[in-house]
Amino acid sequence: MNKTLLEVTKLHISYDAGQSYILRDISFDLREWEILSIIGKNGTGKSSLLKAIAWVQKYHSGSIHKKTSHISYIPQKIYLEESFPLTVWEFFSVFNENISQRKLQDTLKLFWTQKFLERNIHSLSGWEFQKVLITNALLSDPDIMLLDEPTSWIDIIWEEQFYENIMQIQKVFPKMSIILVSHNLSLVYKNSTRVICLHENNLCCHGTPNELMNNKDLGNIFGSYLRPYEHAPHAAHHHTH
């Protein structure tokens, strides 16, 4: 069995010292080379959970036990001052001062972003900017990458391409795991190793796409037409890797 990288136990997140809770009693783990997707309707605490794991946000009680310190976090939205000129190359340099030229070029090849290096970062499309952010995160060789709504800036036609890129990333980083928040349930079920569904500030269900296929709670929340595919290609690949 693959090594466990993260254990979340009885986690409670509150913004008002326990008077009310964003999330209550959340427990799960993350193992090497997994894609763990977090789904749920708006306001169910998906982003708050990711922020707590990334140490961006405090939590009220429970524990988050990380067995690695190499974690990269990409929030849902990043705002850059448009009046400040910044090329993609300069953006990488700011966050990776001592990175070697060879490592940068090898990582860039994953997303074919070499051609963007001299462009102003404000001129990039949402998909191009997302590729730059993920490339920048990979330069630190993370064991865990946290992605909050990574396709929210991407046109729907590019979402399949995003998951193809994720598959390619895990071939190059064979032990790295990914936790991502997403609203596109069809692609989540098709490409995830495991899925967590949050509902009414709690963990509604948790398991592989196949395990969730007949979950009545999931069906009641999203409707039967949004249940998982019978076959999850990424999960199958994972077991044969």
> Of 16-25, 107-116, 169-178, where does mean pLDDT reach its minimum?
107-116
pLDDT at position 234 over 60: no
pLDDT at position 239 over 70: no
d(CA 229, CA 109): 31
pLDDT at position 77 over 60: yes
The angle, 0 to 180 degrees and rounded to 10, between the axes of the packed helices 88-95 and 126-138 is 30
pLDDT at position 238 over 70: no
Residue 105's nearest CA partner among 95, 94, 117 is 117
Specify the pLDDT at position 113: 67
Tens digit of pLDDT for each residue in 178-218?
Answer: 999 987 787 888 899 999 999 988 998 999 998 887 788 87
- List helix spans (H) across 61-184: 88-95, 101-108, 126-138, 159-172
Asked if residue 223 is part of any domain, the answer here is yes
d(CA 198, CA 16): 20
Asked if residue 139 is part of any domain, the answer here is yes
d(CA 143, CA 130): 19
Higher local confidence (pLDDT), 59 or 235: 59
Asked if residue 214 is part of any domain, the answer here is yes
Helix (H, G, I), strand (E, B) or coil at 234: helix
Identity at 152, one-letter amino acid code: S
Residue 27 dihedral angles phi and psi, to the nearest 5°: -135, 130
Specify the pLDDT at position 116: 80
Asked if residue 241 is part of any domain, the answer here is no
- Supply the pTM of this predicted model: 0.87
pLDDT at position 159 over 60: yes
Q: What is the mean pLDDT of the chain?
A: 85
Q: What percent of the chain shows pLDDT beyond 70?
A: 88
pLDDT at position 227 over 90: no
pLDDT at position 59 over 90: yes
Name the helix (H) or strand (E) containing 24.
strand 23-31
Specify the pLDDT at position 237: 39
Helix (H, G, I), strand (E, B) or coil at 123: helix
Q: How confident is the model at residue 27 (pLDDT cuts 50, 70, 90)?
A: very high
Specify the pLDDT at position 126: 80
CATH code of the domain containing 120: 3.40.50.300
Asked if residue 13 is part of any domain, the answer here is yes
Q: Domains in the chain: how many in total?
A: 1
- Residue range of the domain that includes 175: 4-236
Asked if residue 212 is part of any domain, the answer here is yes
Q: What is the DSSP letter of 2?
A: P
Structure tokens at 202: 């709690």
Cβ–Cβ < 8 Å for 201, 48? no
Specify the pLDDT at position 61: 97
